[in-house]
Amino acid sequence: MQRITRYFDNFRKANVKLMDDELHHVFTDELSKYQYCRDVPKGTLRMILSKLANGQSGTLSSDQEDDIMRALTHNSVHDRIDLEIWKNCFKYWTREDISTKSALIVVDVQNDFISGTLALKNLPAKQDGEDAVPVINKIKQKFKFDLSILTMDWHPSNHCSYHVNVHKYPIHETSKIKAEEANVYDVVVFDGDAVLEQTLWPVHCEQESWGAKLHADLKVDDSDILIRKGNVHNVDSYSAFWDNGKYSTTELFVILMKQNISQVFICGLATDFCVLYSAVDSAEHGFQTYVIEDACKGVSNESIASARKKMVDAGVKLITADQVADFL
């Protein structure tokens, strides 16, 4: 999925340069031969897509080409393109050109991250999560977004991220720290369907607990959409889109696509974990993504700096609350 997503991003970006003589020739001479998308032979489409991708982020690998062609011909016969999938893909890669609808995603402004078991103010950066709340409220009040979404960690009591549960899960042989040696905030490597690193946290945001509730001062509107994540016991879920193993998604992506959202503005807690992962996934899915830095708080200065670089490298724009109007 991620490879296809990045591929479609290249295609969409390339549409800006369709006046190029060679690409213009490809479209007018090749696609005009066919009345319907479903009539385009697979070989022709492969050639067209390869030309569009070339020069954007490098030529596609054969594996990437195979991925996209399998998707586009999934329900077809005789090498014809599946019309419904083609239509969905077209909507996906052109949405920034045909829509300027925006969504605000407020990440995990929950009690445990502010004054509870995992309060940011007690962690190395000493950033108080409560300081982000009035900034977020001002953003929600001042700017009109087409969607406002609130995310919440929603962990079962046996969740793998809890240090007290580390002995319940198999440790991979590559883990530098064994279960019996592990302390809170250590990173272990769990074994299973996929080998995943896991930071061990105190019990936090346990389902139905006070710590899992949104902070009382956070402005919550009746129209806000709530996304719960991290509710599968054996895999953590920093991102509002995916769990950390990329096994499953939340409903967020479908909600954004159904509403034709093209711009995503992200704020909340914590900058270097759930905000970071959500922003990178948002950008990888082709949304124009902005992180409102003064409406975020993080864990450590070192990891915040690393997170900022990762977001910028992924194409995320880092802005302040005063700059939101410039991009809406």
Please give the average pLDDT of every successive group of 10 residues along the chain, which has 328 residues: 41 40 57 62 70 52 74 69 66 60 97 98 98 98 96 98 96 95 96 89 98 98 97 96 92 89 95 97 90 98 98 95 94
Distance between CA atoms of residues 294 and 191, nearest Å: 37
What pLDDT does 90 receive?
59
Structure-token match 């995603």, residue found: 105
Structure-token match 């009345």, residue found: 35
What the block records as the tokens of 17 is 């340069």
Planar angle of CA 89, 94, 95, nearest 5 degrees: 100
What the block records as the tokens of 90 is 């077209």
What pLDDT does 17 receive?
37
Q: Burial level of 50, CB count in 10 A (0-12/13-18/19+)?
A: middle
Pairing type for strands 196-199 and 187-190 reads antiparallel
Structure-token match 């807690």, residue found: 269
Q: Is 189 helix (H, G, I), strand (E, B) or coil?
A: strand
In this structure, what DSSP letter does residue 143 have?
Answer: S
| Residues labelled catalytic | 108, 229, 274
What pLDDT does 57 receive?
41
Contact 115/34 with Cβ under 8 angstroms?
no
What the block records as the tokens of 250 is 């939340």
Distance between CA atoms of residues 136 and 219, nearest Å: 8
Phi, psi of 234 (to 5 degrees): -105, 15
Structure-token match 């319907």, residue found: 36
> Is the Cα torsion angle 274, 280, 283, 284 positive or negative in sign?
negative
In this structure, what DSSP letter does residue 75 have?
Answer: T
Phi, psi of 297 (to 5 degrees): -140, 150
